[in-house]
Amino acid sequence: MRALDLDYMLGLVPVILGYVPLTIGMALAAMVGALILASLMAVERVVRVPVLDLFVQLFISFFRGTPLLVQLFLFYYGLPQILPVLAGINGVTAAIIGLTLHFSAYMAESIRAAILGVDRSQWEAAQAVGMTQTQSMRRIILPQAARVAAPTLVNYFIDMIKSTSLAFTLGVTEMMGATQKEAAGSFLYFEAFLVVAVLYWAIVEMLSFLQKRLERRLNKALTR
Amino acid sequence: MISIRGLTKRYGTNTVLNAIDLDISAGERVAIIGPSGTGKSTLLRCLNYLDRPDGGVIRIGDLTVDAATARPADILALRRRTAFVFQNYSLFANKTARENITEALITVQRKPRADANARADAILREIGLVDKASAYPAALSGGQQQRIGIGRAMALDASLMLFDEPTSSLDPEWVGEVLDLMRQLASRRQTMLIVTHEMQFAREIADRVIFMDGGRIVEQGPPAQIFDAPQDRRTESFLRRVR
């Protein structure tokens, strides 16, 4: 066993850190998109709009049933062959769209379960004061469901950050892509991938800290 | 003026409300009594379509809602003329006491936030809970929650306030404060329809007492008549049991 090249590793940290904004940016963009899409699908699954419900079920089934990597390849390398409008799509956009669709399918199911978990009496009270279905959902039910779903959704966000590393297979130079290039130049694969692993880990740990604070805030309404 | 004709509700083959006819004049305070499972709560819940009746017509002022033809817009209009106080309070768990009162004023009545807040503060003073304005329901006692529940209903300025056993879930120590608040409302001639097991309270504040059994109105009249000289054998036997 040879000794670790610590100097190389320390020198690599700022290089890879430079790609953190792109990684977080992709994950954030995909998270916002996935949250919106998932909430819409979750509400649809609860109220069950005829016909649309079939499409939503099919969507969820497909995006949960196939690997993310396959979906990304399908969007980036496959779809442009069928739809020439997509020919100019860049890797970052394709990755964001892929992550959005993939994670929205999982998140829709969590949000749906959280909505169904809100006590029936909350619905009735909202109806009784004259709110429309949409108002009841938006003002009373969803905020309460959000509290229940929050821990799971943050977990998906963590998973999403790590999944952005797959974007490197679409030619995107993000944290993983940058590391790969560095390693290929230095042949110090172990050092390079260890550094990137620790950096991903650190990002996730910071998020876990924020998660605890978020949960405390959301639970404010429930504590004496 | 409120008029109910032929209000009917079935669950499967079980007829819970059997063609109820009832008129309530403005400012009238009506108490409904009767054994459990005789359709008292169902009657209230059908009046604002929390449970959709299978038949019958409800008129409140110039609004007519027929179960045979009622569309979502009619149901919304009906709900906006009634206010409902729940047995289990059913305060919005994600809103503070004050927000529970302002919520419908802002989202349903489209009042400016400042006006809604002013109204909520006036009501909080009236129900004696100013100091709990920013408390969440989970931090309030049962009695406090139900007073906020009544405050939320008061804010709506509804033509008809419906009370579904408002003290039945309360620990005995909180019943008094809730009844006191309802007395205040009654003394202002708020039109109220109250399902209750508090016989003494019904006798004291109601203009009219209705005895229901088997999904029908068996007997109705002034409290003195119903409580002291019931005409129907079922009323008499019920009152003997609860006394």
Do residues A16 and A82 touch, judged by C-beta distance below 8 A?
no
Tell me if B104 and A223 make a contact (CB, 8 A cut-off): no
CA-based nearest residue to B215, from B60, B58, B13: B13
Domains and CATH numbers, chain B: 30-38+82-242 (3.40.50.300)
Torsion of CA B114, B141, B167, B215, to 10 degrees: 80
Do residues B35 and B41 touch, judged by C-beta distance below 8 A?
no
| Helices and strands, number each (H, E), in chain A | 11, 0
Per-residue pLDDT for chain B (243 aa), expressed as one digit of tens each?
899 999 999 999 899 999 999 999 999 999 999 999 899 999 999 999 999 999 999 999 999 999 999 999 999 999 999 999 999 999 999 999 999 999 999 999 999 999 999 999 999 999 999 999 999 999 999 999 999 999 999 999 999 999 999 999 999 999 999 999 999 999 999 999 999 999 999 999 999 999 999 999 999 999 999 999 999 999 999 999 987
Tell me if A221 and B136 make a contact (CB, 8 A cut-off): yes
Strand, coil or helix: B226? helix
Question: What is the predicted pLDDT for the residue at A211?
Answer: 87
Residue among B86, B94, B152 minimizing CB distance to A121: B86
DSSP result, A104-170: HHHHHHHHHHHHHHS-HHHHHHHHHTT--HHHIIIIIIHHHHHHHHHHHHHHHHHHHHHHGGGGGGG
What is the C-alpha to C-alpha distance for residues B89 and B148, in angstroms, rounded to an integer?
8
Here the contacts of A174-181 (C-beta below 8 Å, separation 24 or greater) are A174/A19, A174/A22, A174/A23, A174/A26, A175/A16, A175/A19, A175/A20, A175/A22, A175/A23, A175/A199, A175/A200, A177/A19, A178/A15, A178/A16, A178/A18, A178/A19, A179/A12, A179/A16
What is the C-alpha to C-alpha distance for residues B23 and B219, in angstroms, rounded to an integer?
14
What is the C-alpha to C-alpha distance for residues B156 and B111, in angstroms, rounded to an integer?
11
pLDDT band of residue A222 (cuts 50, 70, 90) is low
B76 to chain A, closest Cα gap in Å? 6
What is the C-alpha to C-alpha distance for residues B230 and A177, in angstroms, rounded to an integer?
87
pLDDT in tens, A169-196: 998 888 999 899 988 888 888 888 999 9
In order of A36, A39, A68, A112, A131, the CA distances from A138 in angstroms are 13, 10, 31, 14, 10
pTM as predicted: 0.83
Q: List CB contacts (< 8 A) between A222 and chain B.
A: 93, 136, 138
Q: List CB contacts (< 8 A) between B99 and chain A.
A: none
- Which amino acid is residue B177, in one-letter code? E
- Which amino acid is residue A155, in one-letter code? N
> Do you know the residue count of chain A?
224
Question: What is the predicted pLDDT for the residue at A182?
Answer: 87
Residue A202: how many CA atoms within 13 Å on its side-chain side?
10
Q: List CB contacts (< 8 A) between B119 and chain A.
A: none
What is the C-alpha to C-alpha distance for residues A191 and A8, in angstroms, rounded to an integer?
8
Sign of CA dihedral A130, B93, B190, B125: negative
Please determine, for residue A22, whether its predicted confidence score (pLDDT) is greater than 60.
yes
Question: What is the predicted pLDDT for the residue at A218?
Answer: 74
- Considering the segment(s) A21-172 as one domain, its CATH architecture is Orthogonal Bundle (1.10)
Residue among A121, A128, A222 minimizing CB distance to B48: A128
A→B interface, C-beta within 8 Å: 119, 121-122, 124-132, 135, 139-140, 143-144, 147, 220-224
Do residues B220 and B210 touch, judged by C-beta distance below 8 A?
yes
Question: What is this model's ipTM?
Answer: 0.92
Please determine, for residue A56, whether its predicted confidence score (pLDDT) is greater than 80.
yes
Question: What is the predicted pLDDT for the residue at A217?
Answer: 80
Backbone angles phi, psi at B48, to 5 degrees: -120, 20
Question: What is the predicted pLDDT for the residue at A88?
Answer: 81
**Bridge partners, B33 (sequence order):** B211
Please determine, for residue A215, whether its predicted confidence score (pLDDT) is greater than 90.
no
Tell me if B139 and A121 make a contact (CB, 8 A cut-off): no
Q: List CB contacts (< 8 A) between B139 and chain A.
A: 223-224
Cα nearest neighbour of B44 on chain A:
A128
Sign of CA dihedral A111, A114, A118, A120: positive
What are A86's two structure tokens?
């997509």
Tell me if B76 and A130 make a contact (CB, 8 A cut-off): yes
